[in-house]
């Protein structure tokens, strides 16, 4: 496994590339983040396989995977577990505490290099916090959130944020206000033209 990271990670910078072993369709594959250049990527970290909150997130993203694919986006899940642990978890049915077949890769970060590169590694616990990153088609980090260990993330909000990002990238003269969803009014980031939005609401 290799990774590249320079300086403090923040949105607007190129996302750290990495190469690692992942479980894809119950097979081991070597993948790199750069393999997905040209499409959007939702990269999320979770603490450990065979735990409690984690399977609810992992299956939620898998169940909604088609919605991400329709937006030209791949989902990648990452934890510090080995690829063998990932495979065993995938081969365990959901009603037995497993995650079953998944529609996206689970990446093994057993050396903890990817978690460190994305600043989500808890060095005392030796596991990743619940970091979630949206990376655009050019490989630029556009969104980052980090939850502590005990509470999960929201797939609806991830989709909404992704849609807002794609909208402003496709419409550079517009910005999206709080809670924007497709079909809602945007605003022009201009002191005069923005008044049209505020007058309408």
The catalytic site residues sit at 54
Exposure string (b/e) for 154-193, b if CB count within 10 Å is 16 or more? Answer: ebeebbbbbebbbbbeeeeeebbeeebeeeeebbeeeeee
Terminal Cα distance for the chain, rounded:
51
In angstroms, the CA 59 to CA 95 distance is: 12
In angstroms, the CA 103 to CA 66 distance is: 9
Please name the residue that has the structure tokens 């983040």: 33
Q: Are 32 and 137 in contact (CB under 8 A)?
A: no
């Amino acid at each position: 496994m290799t990774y590249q990271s320079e300086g403090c990670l923040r949105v607007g910078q190129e996302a750290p590339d990495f190469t690692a072993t992942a479980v894809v369709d119950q097979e081991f594959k070597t993948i790199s983040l750069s393999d997905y250049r040209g499409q959007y990527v939702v990269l999320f970290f979770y603490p450990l396989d065979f735990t409690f909150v984690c399977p609810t997130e992992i299956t939620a993203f898998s169940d909604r995977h088609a919605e991400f694919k329709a937006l030209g986006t791949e989902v990648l899940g990452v934890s510090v577990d080995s690829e063998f642990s990932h495979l065993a978890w995938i081969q365990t049915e959901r009603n037995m505490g497993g995650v079953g077949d998944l529609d996206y890769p689970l990446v093994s970060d057993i050396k903890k290099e990817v978690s460190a590169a994305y600043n989500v590694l808890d060095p005392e616990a030796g596991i990743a916090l619940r970091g979630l990153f949206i990376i655009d088609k050019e490989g630029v980090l556009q969104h980052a959130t980090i939850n502590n260990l005990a509470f999960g993330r929201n797939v609806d909000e991830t989709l909404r944020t992704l849609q807002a990002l794609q909208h402003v990238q496709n419409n550079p003269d517009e910005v999206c206000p709080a809670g924007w969803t497709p079909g809602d009014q945007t605003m022009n980031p201009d002191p005069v033209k923005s008044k049209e939005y505020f007058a309408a609401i």
